[in-house]
A and B are shown apart, each in its own frame.
Chain A
Amino acid sequence: MKSADFLVELWVEDMPVAVQLEAEFKLKEAVENLFGREKISGKFKKTFSSPRRIAVLFENVSRDIEEQKTAIKGPPDKISFDSEGKPSKVLEGFLSKYSADCADIRVRETDKGNYVFLEKTVPPRGSVEVIRENIALALEGIKFSKTMRWGAHSFPRPVRNILVMFGKKALKLDCFGIPSSQTSRGFMGENIKIESPALYEKNLKSSRILPDRKKRRDFFEEQLKDALQAPLHSKPSAELTEETSGICEYPRVLTGSFDEKFLKLPPEFLKVTLEFHQKCFAVYDKKGMVNQFIFVVDGVSENAREIGANYERCVTARFEDTKFFWENDRKKKLVEYYDDLKHVNYMGKFSTLYEKAERVTRDASELAKVYCPEEEKDVAKIAKLLYCDIVTKIVGEFPELHGIAGQYLGMGVTDDPDELPVGSHTLRDAVTLETLNNVSAVCGLAERLNTLKSFFFADMIPSTSKDPYGLRRVADGAVRILAETEGIDFKLPEIFTVVFDDVEKAVSEQVRNFLKERFKLYLVKEGIPADIANMTETKFDIPKEARSLSVAISEARGKQEEAFSHIAEAAKRIRNILKQAEKLKIEPAAVNKELLAEAEEKKLFDIASSLRSEIESYMNEKKYKQALMSLVTVKEPLDLFFEKIMVMDRDESLRDNRLGLLRDIDRLLSSFGRFDILNAMASDGGAERMLE
């Protein structure tokens, strides 16, 4: 047999999911690099990973490595030898780099002159030998983002067994300080015989181990579906599913229940307690959460009842804690936590959360005066309460409950004006942006802009690769508010006058540009082609309009690609001509109808004049679709104009008049943004590039 399957498995102490994924990838890469370097031919088949193992399988790995001839180019002939023909310092350096001697070199002609070449012939070798000699170094040399040390070794977690199989034979070698094994291992370190690399998965499966990540997740999801009878359901997020099935070798889904008394706690609290602490999932019926939960065990096949009772005890203990925190937190009203913010630092020692809350309240009130004066009082109240829940025990324990806990805590049982109306979600929404009304939008916006202002002012600005303070997410929240608040048309200049009146222009410009960049990404994520998001950038000062306009343009172009392509091309030409004229210090004239000599320019003038008022009124009424429908009628006259007319005529008055006409067209087009940077050939090119 000329070739065989090849398997490497490292049995490691439990790795979390992120580490498994990295290790799986790096293991494959290390073996591929080794094969590439040593000219071992073979086809990559699959990688495996679970908490306790990573493995890679290759097929058709040749048993023989053919003779290899290599030639490495060295220094030019003339500087390689001294006058006596002995090797020069340069040549000696080259030879020592490859630990070769003069016998290995030949001088060869190239089109750049004669050069020294190091020629090596590696005789045919056996793959098994080469792998046995080199695999340990390859594996031990893998670089990881995070490692640990044990003994003299390092890896993300300690490696405790190594299996390297070529065909049905396990190779003998030493790696990570231990001799390789003839078998794989199970939970207690028991031997699991692998008959051949191809049978790896099957052999492990009979020991209740599923090494294939995807199959394991599918197996988990299938059981999850069967575990509950409709209308009961549980929908863990994709992330949680990946995590839960990822930290088992053989996930088994079971259900448990808890005392109904805990259902008096807010369901969000119960859910996060279950998920975060116990890696269990909440169960719901049509009305909401019920007193059941899903839990997952690894591998165990018997004793489900006792294990379930034990899980129930743990869940009860966690719920007791959550209840304890919450009952304590509730001893004070939300507003009574306000003064406690004085003890919470914000951005190191420079400020406190209290000071920030004061700033946010001021900015939110000012914004309310502009955008929703009738609700100014509510805005000021919510803004002030925004951070209060941060000092509660429950949010200390579960930071993701910020906003949610505040809402529950603030909900009035009396008519106390300090409390929040029952059933309203405004405070919570200002943090989570689940839904937006005027009050939550203005508060949420003031809060986010304040954060951006402080960090940009302190020059703690995200770079392309690093965003340690999560400012992108903050800006994305602001962008969503700007673009999606139904009741308010936010305008950036107005907002910046209010919120950024106390910092230098340079800082506010930086924040504005940052928001614009995030807004572009927002549009692209909403499905707007990247070139359109770039085109409408000049309109971003009114984000909601820019968004509707972008949607309208992208729909209109979808229907009339050719027309848009032509207009875009014409727009580019117009910009170029106007630029050229500016360079030559030629001033376009106000169009004089008398001077329009040719039919094509008359036609363009007429149509442009009638379009101008039409488009303007459509734009004012935000009827972008109609405005664009009108605009495309300019396509033909524009085409004809450029086909027939020479703008830079020798006659200066004709020339300046035509430039004037083009300037008018340019202005008309500009009401939609920058047509000149729209892709002439409609395509979605660039969309991927813009996405992070």
Chain B
Amino acid sequence: MKTLQDIIKTLSDYWGDKGCVVAQPYDVEKGAGTFNPMTFLKLFDKGPWRTAYVEPARRPQDGRYGDNPFRLYKHLQFQVILKPAPADSRLLYLKSLSRIGIDMKKHDIRFLEDNWESPSLGAWGRGWEVRCDGLEITQFTYFQQAGGIELEDVPVELTYGLERIAMFLQKKKSVYDIDWSETVKYGTLRKEDERQFSVYYFEKASVEGLRKVCDFYRGELEMLLENKLPLPAYDCLLNFSHIFNVIDARGGIDHTTRADMIKQMRGYANRIALMYKEIREQS
């Protein structure tokens, strides 16, 4: 039986062998692995690029106080980017599933339409959610646009849901029963964390204070962009985006404000992408 860390190791080795840079998580809170600069910014470099890494994705709204056996405020994604997407992208992916122990002949593997979109990153792509016996295990996307920019070499992004895959392979009924290693359960490491953060996100977070933090990051973003520093600006955007999600989970954002703030984030993502691209092209 494969532990969670076995799965991570197997996927890292597999994609490493396919020419991916096996990178590390980016240490700022974010809602999805796409936000890691190894994906979002590297997409704007000229030439081919391949990377694979684990990324914790934080979605305050999905917190369930550690009570729900399937949902977490923070889950782990295994992210792969292949740019440009090779003709056998799909087959490479299916083979990776075989490698971690999913036998295609014995399971119902389906590709259901799910055109991924991140309004705050100005990114979208055509793609699928890949289901294994009804369970969504991967988002498979051919990016068409990011940071509001049409992408020249269409990349493919694979986002594996690691907890789900582990639950599936280990036949567990609760995410907290997953064997992280041979001796340590997922719940031992994460359950209390889920409880405390759910309390924080849903009940305690200081909405007014966080709004001020948003304002602060807005100012910082403007200043950094003015100084042509898109990389730190991007960190500010990530922070801004995460705080926005926290305020949202507290019910502190009405529809108009939400639309406005997403538009702001998209605007920043676009400016950062363009500036990053410009600097890279000059160097």
Instruction: Report which A residues bind B (CB closer than 8 A).
Output: 13-16, 51, 148-151, 157-158, 160, 178, 187-189, 247, 278-280, 295, 297-300, 302-303, 306-307, 310-311, 313-315, 317, 320-321, 324, 343-345, 349
Provided the pairs A151-B154, A247-B112, A314-B135 are in contact, do residues A303 and B106 lie with their beta carbons within 8 angstroms? Answer: yes
State whether A13 touches B111 (Cβ < 8 A): yes
* Known contacts A302-B106, A311-B133, A324-B68, A188 near B91 by CB under 8 Å: yes
Please tell me if the beta carbons of A160 and B90 are within 8 angstroms of each other in the complex.
Answer: yes
User: Roughly how many angstroms separate A310 CA and B256 CA in the complex, as a whole number?
Assistant: 41
Residues of chain A with a CB closer than 8 A to B91's CB: 188-189
> Within the assembled complex, what's the spacing in Å between the Cα atoms of A582 and B90?
78
Beyond A13-B90, A14-B111, is A300–B105 a contact (Cβ under 8 Å)?
A: yes
Question: Contact at A321–B173, with CB atoms within 8 Å?
Answer: no
> Which of B32-40, B80-88, B217-225 contacts its partner?
B80-88
Known: A344-B254, A345-B256. A314 touches B144 (CB 8 A): no
Alpha-carbon gap, A344 to B94, bound state (A): 44
Known: A150-B85, A188-B104, A303-B106; 17 extra A-B contacts, CB below 8 A, are A16-B112, A148-B144, A151-B154, A178-B87, A187-B104, A188-B91, A189-B90, A298-B109, A300-B105, A302-B105, A303-B107, A310-B107, A310-B135, A314-B135, A317-B69, A321-B71, A343-B255
Residues 100-123 of chain B, each 1 if its beta carbon lies under 8 Å from chain A, else 0: 000011111111110000000000
Q: Whose C-beta in chain B lies nearest to the C-beta of A146?
A: B126
Cβ-neighbour of B133 out of A157, A158, A187, A314 (below 8 A): A314
Instruction: Chain B residues near A324: list those with CB within 8 A.
Output: 64, 68
Most B Cβ at <10 Å: residue of A14, A178, A187, A343: A14
Interface of B is mostly: mixed
Leading 8 A-B pairs by shortest Cβ distance: A310-B133, A343-B254, A14-B111, A297-B108, A148-B126, A16-B113, A317-B70, A314-B134
Complex: how many Å from CA A317 to CA B68? 8
Nearest CB to that of A256 among chain B residues?
Answer: B134
Beta-carbon contacts of B56-90 to A below 8 Å, as 1s and 0s?
Answer: 00000000100011110000000000001101101
**Is A307 touching B68 in the complex (CB atoms < 8 A)?**
no
Chain A, Cβ-Cβ closest to B125: A148
B108 / chain A contacts, CB cutoff of 8 Å:
297-300, 307
- Partner pick for A320 among B70, B111, B133, B144, CB 8 A cutoff: B70
A188 vs B107: C-alpha distance in the bound complex, in angstroms? Answer: 13
A278 to B168, CA, bound (A): 16
Given contacts A14-B113, A315-B134, A189 and B88 within 8 Å (CB-CB)? yes
Cβ distance B134 to chain A, nearest Cβ, rounded Å: 4
Contacts of B107 in A (CB 8 A): 300, 303, 307, 310
- For the complex, is B128 an interface residue (Cβ under 8 Å from A)? yes
Residues of A within 8 A of B126 (CB): 148, 157
Q: How far is the CA of A160 from the CA of B92 in the complex (A)?
A: 13
**Residues of B with C-beta under 8 A to A151:** 84-85, 87, 154
Task: Return the CB mask of B2-31 against A: 1 if under 8 Å, else 0.
Answer: 000000000000000000000000000000
Cβ-closest chain A residue relative to B154: A150
The yes or no answer to B197 lying at the interface (CB within 8 A) is no
A524 to B108, CA, bound (A): 46
Contacting pair A320 B90 (CB below 8 A): no
| A51 in contact with B111 given A149-B154, A160-B87 (CB within 8 Å) | yes
Which residue of A has the minimal Cβ distance to B259? A345
Q: 10 A-B contacts, Cβ less than 8 Å apart?
A: A14-B128, A16-B113, A188-B94, A189-B90, A297-B133, A303-B106, A317-B69, A320-B68, A343-B255, A345-B254
Residues B198-213 near A (CB distance < 8 A): none
Nearest chain B CB to A394's CB is how many angstroms away? 15
Interface residues of B in 121-151 (CB under 8 A from A): 125-126, 128, 132-135, 142, 144
- What's the least CB distance linking A379 to chain B, in Å? 28
Please report the C-alpha to C-alpha distance between residue A287 and residue B45 in the assembled complex, in whole angstroms.
62
CA distance A585 to B154 in the complex (A): 76
Chain A residues with CB under 8 A of B105: 300, 302
Contact present for A310 and B168 (CB under 8 Å): yes
In the complex, residue of chain A having the shortest beta-carbon distance to the beta carbon of B84: A151
Query: Which single residue of chain A is at the shortest CB-CB distance from B68?
Result: A320
- Of the candidates B112, B113, B132, B142, the one having the most CB atoms from chain A within 10 angstroms of its own CB is B113
Shortest A560–chain B CB gap in Å is 55
Chain A neighbourhood of B154, CB < 8 A: 148-151
A298: which B residues are within 8 A, CB to CB?
Answer: 108-110
Question: Within the complex, what minimum Cβ distance (angstroms) separates B8 from chain A?
Answer: 22
Within the complex, the shortest CB–CB distance from B196 to chain A, in Å, comes to 19
Q: How many Å from the CB of B201 to the closest CB on chain A?
A: 14
Nearest CB in chain B to that of A150: its residue = B154
Complex CA gap A160/B104 in Å reads: 20
Cβ–Cβ < 8 Å partners of A344 in chain B: 254-255
> Chain B contacts of A317 at CB under 8 A?
69-71
Chain B residues with CB below 8 A from A51, complex form: 111
Task: Report how far A279 CA is from B173 CA in the complex, Å.
Answer: 21
CA of A299 to CA of B133 in the docked complex: distance in angstroms? Answer: 12
Q: A158 CA to B156 CA in the complex, in Å?
A: 12
A296→B218 CA distance, assembly (Å): 49
Query: How many angstroms between the C-alpha atoms of A241 and B106 in the bound complex?
Result: 25
**Nearest-CB distance from A278 to chain B (Å)?**
6
Across the interface, do A349 and B142 meet the contact criterion of CB distance under 8 Å? Answer: no
Query: With A and B bound together, what is the CA distance between A442 and B142 in angstroms?
Result: 50
**C-alpha gap A149/B143 in the complex (Å):** 9
CB of A148 within 8 A of CB of B87, answer: no
Contact (A345, B255) CB under 8 Å given A13-B111, A14-B111, A148-B144: yes
Smallest Cβ distance from A308 to chain B, in angstroms?
Answer: 8
CB-defined contacts of A13 to chain B, threshold 8 Å: 90, 111, 128
A178 to B70, CA, bound (A): 43
Q: Which residue of B lies closest to A161 (CB)?
A: B87
Measured CB to CB, the nearest residue on chain B to A149 is B154
Q: Which residues of A contact B167 (CB under 8 A)?
A: 313
State A160–B126 Cα separation when bound (angstroms).
16
- B72–chain A nearest beta-carbon distance, Å: 12
Determine the chain A residues whose CB is within 8 A of the CB of B173 once the complex forms: 313
- What is the CA–CA distance of A680 and B125 in the complex, to the nearest angstrom? 58
On whether the beta carbons of B134 and A148 are closer than 8 Å, the reply is no
Residues of chain A lying within 8 A (CB to CB) of residue B168: 310
Measured between C-beta atoms, what is the minimum distance from A431 to chain B in Å?
A: 20
A189→B173 CA distance, assembly (Å): 33
Question: What CA separation (Å) do A208 and B64 show in the bound complex?
Answer: 42
Which one of A15, A311, A343 contacts B134 once the chains associate, using CB atoms below 8 Å? Answer: A311
Complex Cα distance, B256 from A349, in Å, reads 7
Please, how many angstroms separate the alpha-carbon atoms of A311 and B254 in the complex? 36
- Give Cα A464–Cα B32 distance, bound, in whole angstroms: 42
Are the C-beta atoms of B69 and A320 separated by less than 8 Å?
Answer: yes
CB distance from A334 to the nearest CB of B (A): 18
Minimum Cβ distance to chain B for residue A362 (Å): 24
Residues of the A chain whose Cβ atoms lie less than 8 Å from the Cβ of B69: 317, 320
Within the complex, the shortest CB–CB distance from B269 to chain A, in Å, comes to 21
CB distance from B203 to the nearest CB of A (A): 13
In whole angstroms, how far apart are the Cα atoms of A100 and B132 in the complex? 60
Query: What CA separation (Å) do A14 and B256 show in the bound complex?
Result: 36
Minimum Cβ distance to chain A for residue B63 (Å): 11
Residues in A with CB closer than 8 Å to B142 are 148-150, 158
List B contacts of A307 (CB < 8 A): 106-108, 133
Chain A residues within 8 Å of B64, by CB: 324
* A321 partner residues in chain B, CB cutoff 8 A: 68, 70-71
> For residue A149, which residues in chain B have a CB less than 8 angstroms away from its CB?
142, 144, 154
Contacts of A315 in B (CB 8 A): 134
Alpha-carbon distance A148/B128, docked complex (angstroms): 13
CA distance in complex: A189, B134 (Å): 22
Q: State which of A247, A278, A295, A300 has its C-beta within 8 Å of the C-beta of B106.
A: A300
